[in-house]
Amino acid sequence: MAIANVSAASSTSSNWLKEAQESLALSETPGGMMGALQDARFGSSSIKTFLAKSQNNMYALAQIATNSQTSSNALTVQMSQAAAHKRRDELGALAAKLNPTQSNFTPSKGLDTFIYFEDGSSLNTDSNILTMSNGKQIDTTTGLEYHDPKDIVSLANGAYLDTKNNVLTLSDGTKLDSITGVKITV
């Protein structure tokens, strides 16, 4: 008998003829459930052998069910982790879209330390002192006349002496020239 040269390829073996012969040989002595049923049908083995094969088949089916459940659980965990990562990435992208970071931000320079006005007065922005053209100084935070603390001598009754300008300010607000004693009017 001649076998024709056929170019057929098996998915699991490079020699399809050998695979076919092995398959035929295995079909004559089937294992598993079919083998157990054939053994019981033809009486070639005892009940003890039949029950042993049945028990082995039960273990094999239980193992298949366990593996299936384990694989299902692993797939569920993998899918939930992928969904959580996707959700985190989406929320991060949305946050970046709604709150963009400024890359070209230049902080403001702020005020100059001294600001000079046309009338000859100046403002010191560090100490908040406005110096008028006549030399009078005003504290810009309180609006009151400023006296340098090193030039002030405080007296017991609330009066104070400005040693720089030689002005005595009484507790009622009256100002006197400390050299002449003459009342100073504004």
Domain boundaries defined on the chain:
16-98, 112-146, 148-186
Range from 78-82, 144-148, 172-176 carrying the lowest mean pLDDT: 144-148
Q: Sorting pLDDT into bands at 50, 70 and 90, what band is 31?
A: low
Please, what is the average pLDDT of the chain? 80
- pLDDT for the residue 136: 87
Q: Sorting pLDDT into bands at 50, 70 and 90, what band is 34?
A: low
Per-residue pLDDT at 6 exceeds 70: no
Do the Cβ atoms of 30 and 38 come closer than 8 Å?
yes
Do the Cβ atoms of 112 and 119 come closer than 8 Å?
no
List the alpha helices (DSSP H) in the chain: 16-28, 32-42, 47-98
- pLDDT for the residue 32: 59
Q: Sorting pLDDT into bands at 50, 70 and 90, what band is 1?
A: very low
- pLDDT for the residue 77: 93
pTM: 0.35
Q: How far apart are CA 82 and CA 183, in angstroms?
A: 88
Q: How far apart are CA 158 and CA 84, in angstroms?
A: 73
Q: How far apart are CA 151 and CA 169, in angstroms?
A: 13
Q: How far apart are CA 29 and CA 23, in angstroms?
A: 10
- pLDDT for the residue 10: 46
Q: Sorting pLDDT into bands at 50, 70 and 90, what band is 60?
A: confident
pLDDT digits (tens, 9 = 90+) for 102-131: 777 777 788 888 899 999 999 999 899 999
Q: Is 73 helix (H, G, I), strand (E, B) or coil?
A: helix
- pLDDT for the residue 54: 77
Phi/psi of residue 140, nearest 5 degrees: -75, -15
